């Protein structure tokens, strides 16, 4: 069994004389009056750690009012949670902890990393590479994790697209004096696009891959799907990418149609066989999945995008822009997780108190921000341990997702 260890404090700097021991574990909404002095629930990390190392089945966390998590967990209809934000703010930790929390509350859950720089394996302290679903040991209901291998997914996409403009078709068409039609395929530069993929392409392909998985009956059991998405820039490009790819593939398919009708006319004269039958089908399927990705992101019934941030001016500004872009793209956003908040320090640590003041200013900024103030705020403290493995994720999840 993995136990939580805390061998090193995050505050071992000479500036901080006392060992850091956070006690402010709270999730509140922005409508509450005292954001700058969050209510302190007397529930220490130490207590939590003790409970986890004893593997207590249900961790009783004091709650303030009807919980946000109640809403997230209710119903057996499948729901998708996409977690995204600036790099390094704790997206993976939050996504993995949410997945553990769902699984511990009766939902067979799948957690997927579509970030090309995966850290889900590190977070679960388990090897999840290989592009297949891997069972995660520990939670009460089934929890599976999946790291999509972007290279592999892209390769699949490439072979589908090349099959339409590849040498097989070209040679055949050249032979028939219709090579210029095939050249038009080249002008779409899909091959180039795959050699130097724009940010977002890997993710779009990864998400479409997940949809492909979920279409098969053996994956019907999952009622919660949590996505650990790539950092903000990728996510924003991803949102416009399906339209772009949809258009490109649409053009290719039209050309393919022209080629097919030209070849069948020639075939009927010369009796030649075209043995490239299913490439267009494959491409069409891919296009359909891209459209599904786009629809999934905008489906208010089943999907929610959760923005994860930290209380710094830079992160809050980026979150505000992300929220605006998501709104523009009609992606449903309701909650904002502010991670790594320093609890008030009882020691005379100057570094801690300056840092906390800065953080409180950033929280004020959130409250005053026109984009973010309408979101439900969920606060998570910076804890003095590495969030790794199911017990640690369970611990973090119980704090954030209340
Ligand atoms: N509340 C927290 N308290 C202490 N450490 C935390 C907390 N949240 C995250 N961390 C730590 O911060 C580091 C980065 O977290 P994580 O990998 O979840 O971020 P990320 O946003 O997914 O990063 P990337 O953008 O690089 O994928 C990890 O070492 C994680 O354990």
User: pLDDT at position 296, please?
Assistant: 81
Ligand 1 centroid from CA 46, angstroms? 20
Q: Which atom of ligand 1 is nearest to the CA of 95?
A: 18
Give catalytic status of residue 228 as yes or no: no
Q: What does the pLDDT look like over 33-44, one tens digit per residue?
A: 322 232 222 223
Q: Are 67 and 47 spatial neighbours (Cβ–Cβ below 8 Å)?
A: no
pTM: predicted TM-score of the whole model, two decimal places: 0.73
Does 267 have pLDDT greater than 90?
no
Pocket (CB within 6 angstroms of ligand 1): 87-93, 115, 117, 119, 231, 339-340, 380, 382-383, 386-387
Angle at CA 153, nearest 5°, toward 258 and 224?
A: 115
Which of 82, 84, 88, 229 most suits a substitution to test ligand 1, by most atoms within 8 Å of the C-beta?
A: 88
Using DSSP bridges, classify how beta strands 143-147 and 376-381 pair: parallel, antiparallel or unpaired.
Answer: unpaired
pLDDT of residue 51: 38
Of 76, 90, 41, 107, the closest CA to residue 344 belongs to: 41
Place of tokens 């008030």: 344
User: In angstroms, what is the span from residue 87 Cα to ligand 1's centroid?
Assistant: 9
Express as a percent the part of the chain with pLDDT over 90: 38
More confident residue, 382 or 220: 382
Ligand 1 closest atom vs CA 87: 25
> How many Å separate Cα 23 from the centre of its chain?
29
Between 260 and 97, residue with greater pLDDT: 97
How many Å from the N-terminal Cα to the C-terminal Cα in the chain? 26
Q: Which helix (H) or strand (E) holds 376?
A: strand 376-381
- pLDDT for 95-143, tens place per residue? 999 999 999 999 999 999 877 677 899 999 999 987 788 999 999 999 9
Q: Which residue has the higher pLDDT, 276 or 268?
A: 268
> Residue 179: what pLDDT?
56
Q: Are the C-beta atoms of 143 and 103 separated by less than 8 Å?
A: yes
Q: Which residues fall within 8 angstroms of residue 246, CB to CB, at 6 or more apart? A: 287, 290, 291, 294
Classify 201 as helix, strand or coil.
Answer: helix
Q: Which of 314, 387, 393, 399 to mutate to test the pocket of ligand 1 (most atoms within 8 A of CB)?
A: 387
Q: Measured between alpha carbons, how far is 171 from 33 in angstroms, rounded to an integer?
A: 72
Contact status, residue 323 vs residue 307, Cβ threshold 8 Å = yes
User: Mean pLDDT, to the nearest integer, of 23-28?
Assistant: 35
């Amino acid at each position: 069994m993995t136990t939580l260890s805390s061998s090193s404090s995050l505050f071992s700097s000479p500036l901080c004389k006392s060992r850091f021991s956070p006690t402010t574990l709270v999730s509140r909404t922005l409508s509450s009056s005292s954001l700058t002095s969050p209510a302190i629930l007397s529930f220490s990390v130490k207590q939590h750690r003790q409970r986890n190392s004893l593997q207590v089945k249900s961790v009783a966390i004091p709650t303030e009012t009807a919980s946000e998590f109640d809403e997230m967990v209710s119903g057996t209809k499948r729901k998708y949670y996409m977690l995204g934000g600036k790099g390094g703010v704790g997206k993976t930790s939050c996504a993995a902890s949410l997945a553990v929390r769902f699984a511990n509350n009766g939902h067979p859950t799948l957690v997927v990393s579509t970030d090309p720089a995966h850290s889900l394996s590190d977070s679960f302290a388990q090897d999840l590479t290989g592009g297949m679903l891997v069972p995660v040991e520990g939670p009460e209901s089934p929890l599976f994790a999946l790291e999509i291998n972007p290279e592999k997914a892209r390769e699949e996409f490439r072979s589908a697209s090349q099959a339409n403009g590849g040498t097989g078709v070209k040679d055949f068409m050249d032979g028939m004096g219709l090579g210029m039609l095939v050249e038009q395929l080249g002008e779409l530069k899909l091959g180039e696009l795959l050699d130097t993929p724009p940010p977002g392409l890997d993710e779009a392909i990864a998400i479409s891959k997940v949809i492909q998985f979920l279409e098969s009956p053996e994956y019907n059991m999952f009622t919660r799907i949590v996505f650990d998405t790539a950092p903000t820039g990728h996510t924003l490009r991803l949102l416009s990418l399906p339209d772009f790819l949809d258009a490109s593939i649409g053009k290719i398919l039209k050309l393919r149609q022209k080629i097919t009708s030209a070849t069948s006319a020639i075939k009927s004269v010369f009796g030649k066989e075209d043995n490239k039958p299913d490439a267009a089908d494959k491409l069409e399927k891919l296009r359909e999945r891209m459209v599904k990705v786009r629809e999934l992101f905008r489906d208010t019934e089943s999907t929610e995008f959760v923005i994860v941030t930290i209380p710094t001016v830079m992160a809050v500004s980026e979150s505000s822009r992300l929220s605006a872009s998501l709104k523009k793209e009609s992606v449903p956003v309701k909650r904002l997780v502010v991670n790594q908040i320093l609890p008030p320090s009882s020691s005379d640590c100057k570094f801690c108190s300056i840092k906390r003041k800065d953080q409180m200013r950033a929280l004020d900024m959130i409250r005053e921000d026109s984009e973010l103030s309408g979101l439900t705020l969920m606060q998570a403290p910076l804890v003095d341990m590495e969030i790794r493995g199911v017990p640690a994720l369970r611990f973090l999840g119980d704090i954030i997702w209340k």
